[in-house]
Amino acid sequence: MTDTSAVSVSDRPADVAARLRKKRYAADRRLRAYGIGAITVAVGLLGILIATLVLGGYQAFTQTHVRVTFPISTQNVDADDLRGSNWRAVVTEGVENLFPGQSEEVRGLGARILTNNTQFFVRDAVIANPSLVGETLVLEVPASDPYDQLNKGVLDRDLPENRRRLTDEQIAAYDIVEEQGLVSRPFNWALFFNADSRFPEIAGLSGAIVGSFYALMICFVISFPVGIAAAIYLEEFAPRNRYTDIIEVNINNLAAVPSIVFGLLGLAVFLQIFGLPRSAPLVGGMVLSLMTLPTIIIVTRNALKSVPPSIREAALGMGASKHQVIMHHVLPLALPGILTGTIIGLAQALGETAPLLLIGMNSFITSPPGGVMEASTALPTQIFIWADSPERGFVARTSAAILVLLGFLITMNAIAIFLRQRLERTW
Amino acid sequence: MLGFLFTAIIVLSLAAFYVGRSAGNRFVAENGPATHSLAGYHGAFVAIWVGVPALVLVLLWLLLQGSVIDNLLLASLPPALTDGVAPGRMSLLLSEIKNTAVGVTFGEPSPELSAAADTWARWNVIAGWAMFVVALAVMLLAGFFAYTRLNYRFRARTNVERFLSGFMIFCSLIAIVTTLGIIVSLVAESLQFFSMVPPAEFFFGLNWEPQISIREDQIAGSGAFGAVPVFLGTLVIASIAMIVATPVGIFTAIYLVEYSGRRVRNVIKPILEILAGVPTVVYGFFAVLTVAPAIREAGSLLGFATSPNSALAAGGVMGIMIIPFISSLADDALRAVPQSMRDGSLAMGATRAETVKNVLLPAALPGIAGGLLLAASRAIGETMIVVMAAGLIASMNINPLDSVTTVTVQIVTLLIGDTAFDNPKTLAAFALGLVLFVVTLCLNVVALTIVRKYREQYE
Amino acid sequence: MSTTLSARGATDMSGTSAPSTTQAPAHQTVRVPMVDANLPRLKAKDVSVFYGDKQALYDVSIDVPEKAVTSFIGPSGCGKSTFLRCINRMNDTIESCRVLGDITLDDQNLYDSSLDVVELRARIGMVFQKPNPFPKSIFENVAYGPKIHGLARSKTDLEEIVESSLKKAGLFNEVKDRLHSPGTGLSGGQQQRLCIARAIAVGPEVILMDEPCSALDPIATAIIEELIDELRENYTIVIVTHSMQQAARVSQKTAFFHLGKLIEEGPTEGIFTNPRDKKTQDYITGRIG
């Protein structure tokens, strides 16, 4: 046989080959560039997202306070009826102390520097310590939102007066207070320990955090045992037939059902048929558990699958029943994987918003819930509420609340990764 | 009260366990190896009998008590209260009574209302005590029954294991029950909706103004429930999201699988996972605060009229959200193509790009297509981004710079606030939910089937 | 010699030689001419390969004779496949892999930075252990190489190349009626011949074969072996095999690898009848493996 085809790469003139090669390499470089470009876009967008949140939110972690000296005079305050006393007058006298020797007009403007709820802060301080009656009370009072913004430099003094939220006189009044060294900006503990409020300067996340905690507890208590039991059955006991096939397909599809549909289910079944209370973390947790269940079943099955069959055979060979094999050997070995998956599932549930909106966990509630049946918000719904609020101060607080939520999520995922690395073994 | 009851159930079950176990220990001492089960199984057997029936009873009781009392109360109300109240408004009356009972009143309640509130409170207390007593009785009876069955030949282990198997089967059925619950509740409410608004109008009507139906004289046939613009808006936003996410996701996957070194991959993959783990409400806020104003600014700079809540902003941010979803599914699909294909092509002298284009992408196509379908289903069902960043007004419009609304936005707006289950406004949300569920379910089933077939092909 | 004849001849031969192990050396002595007449164009000098910190190959030097079959034998993990993959630089695709030493083709160093790896692989083709046709039609599989390398100026050109390559691989008559059905639908032996056709479609000078018959049954193996014997008229062939009988049957030169080192090389006949090294002898007689 002779070589009939003369076509071969080595037969080609060098310049032709080089030209073609150049073209092909250009195409290769182009694809690589597209890839790098795509990754840059994705990573860059994440960067922009986080930068926006951090830049927008970091200032909400501090809060401008004004040190005010309130004379608790007996003519305003009745030691026997502290709740019914004239606290408004006490606050007015405190404001007078802020502006020694200033006109009535300035004092009137200056009263706005303090938060609207100042009288309640003073009242609560005196109720906590009744011996103050007749003495003076020195209190760090949160500054109201526009002045807080002014102090943080968010509100630009150099703008023309008609384009900023404070007039020149108001700023002048604030400057009088600041010159006395009464203004401070400590860490904003209220963000974590106060519940929601109409006033951004005293609004906090405690109600949302407690609500989310309750809902997650309910979600865990339901979905963890049920998910593991279902996974054990499907993986270890169930015969392979049409019915278990249906269950399996069903679980996979349930994991991909839009979350809002679960909200509709919760609304129609838990609220409408069972008459459970609206806005309750109990209902929120139940809805979230239905959503988390497929995740937990899927990760548990994978964890069970990764336990080698030789262990099962060894135990069965010793005369253990199938239940004993699973309870004594397979489940303990699979547990790290199950826990990791469960934590990741719960982290997803923590960020879930839409179903909670439908069962009313987006109400305006000013105290943390006392139990799972009481109305409450959750962290993501609180973010939604604040994002919808018109006050400027809530913009920063929304970002801060998001950072808090992301902090919880990162912590949970870090725990999951830690567990996986410490406990999981490879066979 | 309730906490006390649950504690009682736990404590009694534990006690039952110890009693059963000591009986078991006795059998072992008396009969030695002739005893069928270990002592612990005897304990577990009695504990199950004490705890489980009582727990089931209490949970059912709690679920049903509310509606049973409500119905009894409604039946017992004096005509002075119920006269002239439409059947659908009864729930308002009920909540008024309950508010009165817990002391939340606006103005002085009428004597009938106060009386009803007292009745309600009294019945609740009675029901609580009745539950407590019944639960205790069940626990004692069941425990006694279980204890009398114990003897050395009793197959306690078999019984306990049978119970566990039953429990596991029950748990795996919950997934089915959930699906059924979704279907039944959506279909039931939708049927009620379609009895008020003809389906033809819903599916083919071009005018969507559900809010006007609050006024009672306009409830039926106002022509305001044509959902086509809502579907169209959903399609517009989901398409924008897919147009943004598909190239970025697929090129990312190609680069990570075919070009990058392991070190780059180990950095980029977790970053993409972070992108996937960010809650959607955060994306929504990002869309409203940053993206929408930016697009508007750019639009006005270029001389386009841009709506403040443009479809482009919502769809674009949704696209960011599904990038990691697409890239990880495409990554899996490309990685599933056997190494020998890659080697075969490279050994022919193909460049990486030629290998990707001519061999890997065609081979991975089913997997990638399945992934894209799943992503599309997610885009259609995504809620928070559009609730925060898309519009509320439905219009027949495919201009991405204009405001459009989506199915999920409408569901949320229709159901936030007071929800009475008797007017088409509320029920329309369930009809939309049914459409959403069916569409996403079809996409998911098709996608999961394709992906599964594809995996089997290379396994 | 026509392709149909050769295929039939191979089938006939398999009946006698392939299943039998003892007759193989005798078979080989009949069919194989002497090697040394062919000058080496492919030379390796002091080649060492590292995977990360682990050294897989130690200072291998060997000359590969032109238009002859050279076989690499040795126990598994001895580095023979690693060395084979160095020759067309497929080891580049493994991230942690480092290659030291020189491999030259016509005195050009294959690891020289000025050398183009894409073109190199067109000149040094490769056939893998498991048949790996692309999930495309038979035609597209063979046309793939000429297309990417721009060898066909027209559609007829391409058809000619595909036909002649399939003929050279002894596959044309079996598939000529279904050129456009998927290549994955062929039998294992046919798939492997398709891969060989795919490799020769770009007109390579050297064909590397990495245990090309290990996934095939004895009859398909015999056909491939016959084909290899035919191909050596036009191509330089290097084959890695774990079957000593196969090495004896098809190759003119044999190299024995052990634990990453080249222990012995020389005319196949010599290695099998009169090994100089004790390790080679132990391997050939079945004491290590």
- Select the residue from B6, B164, B174 to test the A interface by mutation, using most A Cβ atoms within 10 A: B174
Residue A232 sits in the same domain as residue A295: yes
From chain C, pick out residues whose CB is under 8 angstroms from the CB of B344: 128, 132-134, 195, 198
* Averaged pLDDT, A1-11: 55
Beta carbons of C169 and C200 less than 8 angstroms apart: yes
A376 contacts A214 by C-beta, under 8 angstroms: yes
Q: Is the pLDDT of residue A6 over 50?
A: no
pLDDT (0 to 100) of residue C38 = 62
> Quick check: is A361 in a domain?
yes
Nearest CA in chain B to A237: B165
Are A271 and A278 in contact by the 8 Å Cβ rule? The answer is: yes
Confirm whether C72 is domain-assigned. Answer: yes
Tokens in use for A18?
A: 């080089």
pLDDT band of A2, cuts 50, 70, 90: very low
**Hunting for tokens 């080698």 — which residue is that?**
A308
Q: Are residues A356 and A280 in the same domain?
A: yes
Residue A364: pLDDT above 90? no
Of A156, A187, A218, the one marking the end of a domain is A187
pLDDT of residue A7: 63
Domain that holds residue A129: 61-187
Q: Chain C contacts of A15, Cβ < 8 Å?
A: none
Task: Tell me, yes or no, whether A139 and A181 share the same domain.
Answer: yes
- The Cα–Cα gap between B179 and A262 comes to 10
Is A7 in contact with C161 (Cβ distance < 8 A)?
Answer: yes
What pLDDT is attached to residue B213? 47
CATH number for the domain that contains residue C9: 3.40.50.300
**B191 and A CB contact within 8 Å:** no
Band of the pLDDT at B5, cuts 50, 70, 90?
A: confident
Q: Which of A131-140, A231-240, A347-356, B112-121 has the lowest mean pLDDT?
A: B112-121
End residue of a domain, out of A122, A155, A187: A187
* Domain assignment present for C230: yes
| Residues in chain C within 8 Å Cβ distance of A1 | 1, 168, 230, 233-234
Residues A171 and A211 in one domain: no
Let me know if residue A193 belongs to a domain: no
Checking if the pLDDT of B419 tops 80, the result is no
Cα R_g (chain B), whole angstroms: 31
Of B169, B259, B280, the CB nearest to A32: B259
Burial of B321 per CB tally in 10 Å (0-12, 13-18, 19+):
buried
Is the model's pLDDT at B11 over the cut of 80? yes
CB C115 within 8 A of CB A21: no
Inform me whether the pLDDT recorded for A3 exceeds 50. no
H/E stretch holding C254: strand C253-258
Q: Are A331 and A232 in contact (CB under 8 A)?
A: yes
User: Is the four-CA dihedral A280, A284, A286, A287 of positive or negative sign?
Assistant: positive
Q: Give the pLDDT mean for B87-104.
A: 71
End of a domain among A159, A187, A215?
A187
Residue A379: predicted pLDDT: 95
Would an 8 Å CB–CB cutoff place B347 in contact with chain C? yes
d(CA B230, CA B423) in angstroms, rounded, equals 20
Q: pLDDT by residue (tens digit) across B31-70?
A: 878 888 888 899 999 999 999 999 999 988 887 887 788 8
Spatial distance between the Cα atoms of A345 and A303, rounded to a whole number of angstroms: 15
- Name the closest residue on chain A to residue C158, using Cα atoms: A7
What digits encode the pLDDT tens for the residues A394-404? 989 999 999 99
- Answer whether residue A11 is part of any domain: no
pLDDT for C12 equals 39
Q: Which residues pair with C72 in a beta bridge?
A: C240, C255
pLDDT score of B328 more than 50? yes
Q: Give C54's strand partners.
A: C51
Classify strands C69-73 and C236-240 as parallel, antiparallel or unpaired: parallel
Q: Answer whether residue A1 shows pLDDT above 70.
A: no
User: Is B344 in contact with C134 (Cβ distance < 8 A)?
Assistant: yes
Per the structure, the complete domain to which residue C144 belongs is given by: 3-41+66-89+112-284
ipTM summary value: 0.91
The angle at the Cα of A292, spanning B437 to B176, to the nearest 5 degrees, equals 55
**Window from A308-322, A398-412, C200-214 with minimum mean pLDDT:** A308-322
Given a contact cutoff of 8 angstroms between Cβ atoms, the answer to whether C201 and C145 are in contact is yes
If asked whether residues A175 and A101 sit together in one domain, one would say: yes
Give the C-alpha separation, A226 to A221, whole Å.
9
Residues B302-325 have a mean pLDDT of 91
Q: Are residues A121 and A235 in the same domain?
A: no
A70 within a domain of the structure (yes/no) = yes
Task: Give the CA count within 13 Å in the CB-facing half-sphere of A39.
Answer: 22
Provide the pairing of β-strand C206-210 with C124-127.
parallel
Cα separation, B400 vs A263, in Å, equals 29
pLDDT tens for B437-449 read: 999 999 999 998 8
The verdict on B199 touching A (C-beta cutoff 8 Å) is no
- Mode of pairing for the β-strands spanning C108-109 and C54-65: unpaired
Parse chain B into domains and list their residue ranges. 2-154, 228-457
pLDDT band at A427 (very low <50, low <70, confident <90, very high): low
Amino acid at B344: G
Interface of B with A in 325-344 (CB under 8 A): 327
Percent of chain B at pLDDT > 70 equals 91
Name the residue among B318, B295, B434 with its Cα closest to residue B385.
Answer: B318
Higher pLDDT, B120 or C20: B120
Determine contact, residues B270/B327, Cβ cutoff 8 Å: no
Please write the tens of the pLDDT for every residue from A152-175.
888 888 888 888 888 888 888 899
Q: Which tokens hold the place of C16?
A: 């006698």
Q: For residue A59, count other CB atoms closer than 10 A to its CB.
A: 22
Instruction: Decide: helix, strand or coil at residue C56.
Output: strand
Residues A153 and A215 in one domain: no
Give the count of domains, chain C: 1
Ranking A137-146, A197-206, A335-344, C91-100 by mean pLDDT, the lowest is: C91-100
Residues 6+ apart with CB under 8 A from B308: B292, B293, B296, B403
Neighbouring CB atoms inside 10 A of A124's CB total 13
**pLDDT of res. B121:** 85
CA B211 and chain centroid, separation: 26
Residue A190 confidence (pLDDT) above 50: yes
The label of the residue with tokens 């036009």 reads C234
Give the model's confidence band at B262: pLDDT under 50 very low, under 70 low, under 90 confident, else very high.
confident
Q: φ, ψ for residue C15 (rounded to 5)?
A: -60, -30
Q: Mean pLDDT over all residues of chain B?
A: 87
Domain count, chain A: 2
In contact, C72 and C238? CB cutoff 8 Å:
yes
pLDDT at B145 over 60: yes
For residue A227, give the nearest of A238, A219, A217 by alpha carbon.
A219
Kindly tell me if the per-residue pLDDT of A11 is higher than 80: no
Across residues A266-288, what is the average pLDDT? 89
Do A322 and A260 share a domain, yes or no?
yes
Q: A223 and A304: one domain?
A: yes
- Can you give the pLDDT at residue C32? 35
Q: What is the pLDDT of residue B88?
A: 57
Query: Which strand (E) or helix (H) includes residue A35?
Result: helix A14-57
Same domain, A181 and A218: no
Examine residue C84 and state whether it is found in any structural domain, yes or no.
yes
Question: Which residues are paired to C185 by β-bridges?
Answer: none
Is residue C94 assigned to a domain? no
CB of C188 closer than 8 Å to CB of A48: no
Question: Which residue among B346, B358, B362 sits closest to C90, beta carbon to beta carbon?
Answer: B346
Q: Which of helix, strand or coil describes residue C127?
A: strand
Instruction: Determine the distance from the C-alpha atom of residue A25 to the mean position of all C-alpha atoms in its chain, rounded to a whole number.
Output: 48
Q: Which residues are C253's β-sheet partners?
A: C70, C267
- Alpha carbon distances (Å) from C168 to A165, C164, C222: 87, 6, 16
Q: Indicate whether A242 pLDDT > 60.
A: yes
CATH T-level fold of B228-457? MetI-like fold (1.10.3720)
User: Is pLDDT above 70 for A415?
Assistant: yes
Do the Cβ atoms of B297 and B223 come closer than 8 Å? no
Spatial separation of the C-alpha atoms in residues A362 and A356, rounded to whole Å: 7
Q: Which has more confidence, C34 or A84? A: A84
Taking the C-alpha atoms of residue C189 and residue C212, their distance in angstroms, rounded to an integer, is 10
Chain C interface disruption, residue of B258, B342, B348, most C CBs within 10 A: B348
Q: Nearest by CB to A5, from C1, C149, C164: name it.
A: C164
Residues of chain C with pLDDT under 50: 1-36
Average pLDDT over residues A318-345: 89
Q: Select the residue of C116, C146, C234 nearest A7 (Cβ to Cβ).
A: C146
Cα–Cα distance list, C226 to A392, B111, C14, C216 (Å): 84, 107, 9, 14
H helix intervals, A273-392:
281-305, 309-317, 322-325, 331-351, 354-358, 379-388
Do A102 and A216 reside in the same domain of the chain? Answer: no
Q: What is the mean pLDDT of residues B158-185?
A: 92
Q: Are residues A285 and A409 in the same domain?
A: yes
| A368 close to A313: Cβ distance less than 8 angstroms | no
Q: Determine, yes or no, domain membership for C58.
A: no
Q: Are A230 and A254 in contact (CB under 8 A)?
A: no
**How far is residue A244 from each of residues A223, A235, A303, B450, C183, measured CA to CA in Å?**
20, 10, 19, 20, 37
